[in-house]
């Protein structure tokens, strides 16, 4: 196996055992990028010289401190880096150099991670796609807005990458690209130094080719080493939640869900079915109201001074959001609070949930990043979620499922996801 094909967990183990150098791993990733980047277009910038210099320094140090000692990572281009430009996916900020790393980047470096470069994002992490293509088939979208991060990990250009999610920007691209994507509880990771879109919804997340890799990345960004283990552990029970977006799902999405439910049942897990309590049917409707109102205020400067350099789609969203009465946003937030209170009570009987991570395979074309119909409610509730690949669909593209846990139950979610991953036995 080539070094760039290793999981991050395996690469860390080999580096610590002295059987792989950080320098060789970075070199292998750069070789893969040189081979595949013209087709996949996952990167805004590559810092080859800086990454190799950092790798050599770590190899010379000889120590094995930190969760990520010698592991290259990709950083979504809405997350600030002091040594690389951060343009937020917009021509407005071309060449912009922040004065400091975002908190998550600083923690990744402190844990021995090597920033290989900045990955493509949709414009300001919203819905206007970047240039990235799906590595399984470039005619299809990789999802978004964390498109470059998901595609780079899926294509073995880098073992790990970070992204952000406001609606479905971690879970959906991970599902479309056939990797693990993890979004923890809202507020669990510091957003300092991340370009804000929605103060009520924005959440950092991680990408890896395995559940263990995604856990390792998140543990490093949070400086919580205990979470990096993600040892497989069968949940006592799981609840299938099809949601009121069920009509949007393709047959392959239900096939994947049923396959996982059957595997869990065969393994002795009690599998039930339920739907979210009222008033949660309002969640898909109020999510856009909250997001658009807050995005218009977060991007008020860009809207006021650079409107013509925004995409028409984003400009229309900001026009709508800035005109929205405060009372409408307040009503939506009140409904969201009522939903969280209802779900908190409902969770007394439903510890872990199984639901689609996307409507199916990635859609063909590049005009959109796909539907977030199966992500918005969980983002608005602020719950931790993880997607992992299960099977290939009719176009040969990955199809995944999503696991959801109660607030701050990341450890149980990751352990259950690792168990599901073992049962599924996914092979790319």
- Report the catalytic residues: 76, 145, 169
Task: Decide the pairing of beta strands 385-392 and 352-356.
Answer: unpaired
Is the CB of residue 401 less than 8 Å from the CB of residue 352? no
Task: Please say whether the beta carbons of 148 and 76 come within 8 A.
Answer: yes
Compute the distance between CA of residue 420 and CA of residue 403 in angstroms, rounded to an integer: 10
Q: Are the beta carbons of 215 and 229 closer than 8 angstroms?
A: yes
CA dihedral for 265, 267, 268, 274, sign (positive or negative):
negative
Which residue carries 């893969």 as its tokens?
32
Which of 364, 355, 358 lies closest to 395, judged by CA? Answer: 364
Question: What angle is formed at CA 288 by the lines to CA 282 and CA 289, rounded to 5 degrees?
Answer: 85
- Give the β-pairing of 352-356 and 398-405: antiparallel
Q: Which residues contact 418 (CB under 8 A, 6 or more apart)?
A: 211, 212, 215, 230, 231, 232, 233
> Based on the number of CB atoms within 10 Å of its own CB, is 279 exposed (0-12), middle (13-18) or buried (19 or more)?
middle
The Cα 105–Cα 120 span in angstroms is 16
**Burial class (CB within 10 angstroms; exposed 0-12, middle 13-18, buried 19+) of 395:** middle
Could you tell me the sign of the dihedral formed by the alpha carbons of 9, 409, 173, 78, in that order?
negative
Kindly report the length of the chain. 428
Distance CA 248, CA 168 (A): 15
Residue pair 43/149 in contact by the 8 Å Cβ criterion: no
Distances in whole angstroms, Cα of residue 17 to Cα of each of 58, 219, 405: 14, 21, 35
């Amino acid at each position: 196996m080539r070094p760039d094909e290793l999981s991050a967990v395996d690469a860390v183990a080999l580096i610590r055992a002295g059987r792989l150098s950080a320098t060789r791993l970075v070199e292998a990733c750069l070789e893969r990028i040189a081979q595949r980047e013209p087709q996949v277009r996952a990167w805004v910038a590559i810092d080859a010289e800086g990454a190799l210099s950092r790798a050599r320094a770590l190899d010379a140090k000889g120590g094995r401190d930190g969760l990520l000692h010698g592991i290259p990572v990709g950083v979504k281009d809405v997350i600030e880096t002091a040594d690389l430009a951060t343009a937020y996916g917009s021509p407005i900020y071309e060449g912009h150099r922040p004065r400091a790393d975002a908190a998550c980047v600083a923690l990744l470096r402190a844990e021995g991670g090597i920033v290989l470069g900045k990955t493509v994002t949709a414009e300001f992490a919203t819905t206007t796609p970047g240039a990235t293509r799906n590595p399984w088939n470039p005619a299809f979208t990789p999802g978004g807005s964390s498109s470059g991060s998901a595609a780079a990990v899926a294509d073995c250009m880098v073992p790990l990458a970070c992204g952000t999610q406001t609606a479905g920007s971690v879970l959906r691209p991970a599902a479309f690209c056939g990797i693990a994507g993890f979004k923890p509880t809202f507020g669990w990771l510091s957003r300092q130094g991340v370009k804000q879109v929605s103060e009520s919804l924005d959440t950092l997340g991680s990408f890896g080719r395995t559940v263990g890799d995604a856990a390792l990345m998140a543990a490093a960004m949070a400086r919580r080493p205990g979470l990096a283990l993600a040892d497989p552990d069968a949940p006592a029970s799981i609840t299938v939640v099809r949601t009121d977006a069920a009509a949007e799902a393709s047959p392959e999405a239900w096939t994947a869900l049923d396959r996982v439910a059957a595997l869990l049942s065969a393994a002795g897990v009690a599998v039930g079915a339920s739907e979210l309590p009222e008033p949660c049917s309002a969640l898909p409707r109020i999510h856009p109201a909250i997001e658009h109102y807050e995005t218009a205020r977060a991007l008020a400067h860009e809207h006021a001074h650079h409107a013509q350099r925004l995409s028409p789609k984003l400009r229309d969203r900001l026009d709508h959001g800035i005109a929205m009465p405060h009372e409408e946003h307040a009503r939506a937030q009140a409904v969201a609070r009522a939903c969280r209170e209802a779900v908190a009570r409902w969770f007394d009987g439903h510890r872990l949930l199984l639901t689609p991570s996307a409507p199916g395979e990635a859609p063909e074309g590049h005009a959109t990043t796909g539907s977030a119909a199966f992500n918005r409610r969980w983002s608005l509730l602020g719950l931790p979620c993880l997607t992992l690949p299960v099977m290939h669909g009719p176009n040969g593209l990955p199809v995944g499922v999503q696991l959801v846990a109660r607030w701050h139950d990341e450890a149980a979610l990751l352990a259950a996801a690792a168990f599901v991953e073992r049962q599924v036995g996914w092979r790319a």
